[in-house]
Amino acid sequence: MGYTITIIISALAGVVLTLVRCRTAQARHRRARWSFAFVGALLAGIVTVAVIDRWVLFHLDEFISNKFSVWEAVVLDFMFSGAVALGLTLLVVYHYRVKFRDFEV
């Protein structure tokens, strides 16, 4: 349950960062770019790895001696959180592109 809540919170962090960037573009009379969604999803993945896998990444010697593949867990956490965040951030960018379609590209 804690894992799922962490994924959702980090995905929402990516949404908030995308929202801030879209609002900045709107204040400058520019349209929101689709790249904002990808950057927001990337940052959500980084937040997830920093929150969930921080102990694993700082104690690699213990896991290497136990023959545990740390990088599989890190990549899986990053990809899962990034996929969830990408869906949400694409919705945010789509909303701003539709709402402010009169602005230049």
1-14 per-position pLDDT tens digit:
777 888 888 889 99
Residues 9-31: tens digit of each pLDDT: 888 999 999 999 999 998 888 88
Residues 53-86: tens digit of each pLDDT: 776 666 666 666 666 677 777 888 899 999 999 9
Is residue 95 predicted with pLDDT exceeding 80?
yes
The pLDDT-based confidence of 93 (bands split at 50, 70, 90) is: very high
Of the candidate ranges 12-16, 39-43, 80-84, 100-104, the one whose mean pLDDT is the lowest: 100-104
For the chain, the domains span 2-99
Residue ranges of E strands in the chain:
none
104: helix, strand or coil: strand
CA distances from 86 to 35, 50, 95 (A): 11, 18, 14
Phi-psi group of 67: left, alpha or beta (phi > 0 → left; psi -120 to 50 → alpha; rest → beta): left
Query: pTM of the prediction?
Result: 0.81
